[in-house]
Amino acid sequence: MAKKEEHTFEKISEAIKAKKFVPVYLLIGEEPFFIDRITDLLIENVLDDSERDFNQTILYGADTDVAAIFNAARRFPMMAERQLVVVREAQLIRDIEMLANYVKNPLHSTVLVINYKYKTLDSKKALSIASDKMGVLFESKKIPDYRIPAFITSFLQSRATGIDSKSAQMLADYLGNDLSRLCKELDKLAILLPDTSPKRITPELIEQNIGISKEFNNFELLKAIATKDVLKSNRIIQYFEKNPKNNPIQVTLPVLFNYFSNLLICHYSADRSEHGLMLTLGLRFDSQVKDYMLGMKNYSAMKVFSLIRDIRTAEARSKGIENASLTDGYIMKELLYKILH
């Protein structure tokens, strides 16, 4: 038997835009962004404006139960081909597994959308199995920090806007992995671009409108560390110390941890060519893998082991653990010395 094709965010979105609907969408997982996006797409596409008053039902987990959802889903549409039933915050519903009784035999004139956020459901239980068989079972997973630049690039491409690897990394470091906030900021930047083609977000645009220095940022710090550029590394850390609001240690330390953790993977990778490492680490830009190629030359596997421990110690001290007086600036300078010497 052929393996069932995996439901990805992109494939689900394309099908919805093409008006190809299924009776049930069970959207689960820790990352609410993709769940919200798919739900919004369904609300936009399943019904016309004139059909929504009688054929769209929005229920909330705190105020509903399985019986109410069952009854809503079993209704027939009024003067329309189908009806839409959206259940938000379904993780708050008791005995949600009982919905499997409906999902096993759904009404095909109903599109039932179940938002089960911040958690997952047992894939071996009836509701998950039935949803996967009769419709779409989609798990929305958190994107690892090191893949946020690739997400930024893909998001902007969908809006016919380009971005270079440095700009993507700058935004990832500054805005973090809150995808809802990130996309709002990207939309703001895209609006600021002149109405010409091709559109492209640059470090200069980011510096002018978000306040991140194009010269002193975590992207440039990693490049300086990869090449063991002592002077440039120290200049960047000094800038961070003078501008802690835009360059908090709580952002820089995870960036360093991710880099050296991935560098350790590179050291023990079976294929240490540029192409092989890009596949192993899931990298999108050639410039990223070059930092790892340089890092392998400048930092042995044993040194990387030691530095990962040092970064964890620095993170603990930045939170006040075994540290009553050291400033974040001092902690970063001490860590940088251990990295470069």
CATH code matching the domain that covers 145-209, chosen among 1.10.760.10, 1.10.1040.10, 1.10.8.60, 2.60.40.420? 1.10.8.60
Cβ atoms of 49 and 21 within 8 Å: the answer is: no
pLDDT in tens, 161-188: 899 888 898 888 888 888 988 888 888 8
For residue 288, the tally of other CB atoms under 10 A from its CB is 22
Query: CATH 3.40.50.300 region(s) of the chain?
Result: 9-139
CATH architecture of 218-340: Up-down Bundle (1.20)
Query: CATH 1.10.8.60 region(s) of the chain?
Result: 145-209
137's enclosing H/E stretch is strand 136-139
Give the per-residue pLDDT at 192: 83
DSSP 66-125: HHHHHHHHTSPPSSSS-EEEEEESGGG-TTGGGGHHHHTS--TTEEEEEEEESB---TTS
CATH of span 9-139: 3.40.50.300
pLDDT in tens, 24-57: 999 999 999 999 999 999 999 999 999 999 999 9
Tokens 């090449």, located at residue: 227
CB-based contacts of 312: which residues, under 8 Å, 6+ apart?
Answer: 257
List of the chain residues with pLDDT < 70: 1-5
The pTM for the full model equals 0.73
Cβ atoms of 326 and 211 within 8 Å: the answer is: no
Query: CATH 1.20.272.10 region(s) of the chain?
Result: 218-340
Closest CA to 102 of 27, 35, 39, 24: 24
Q: Which two tokens stand for residue 98?
A: 């009982």
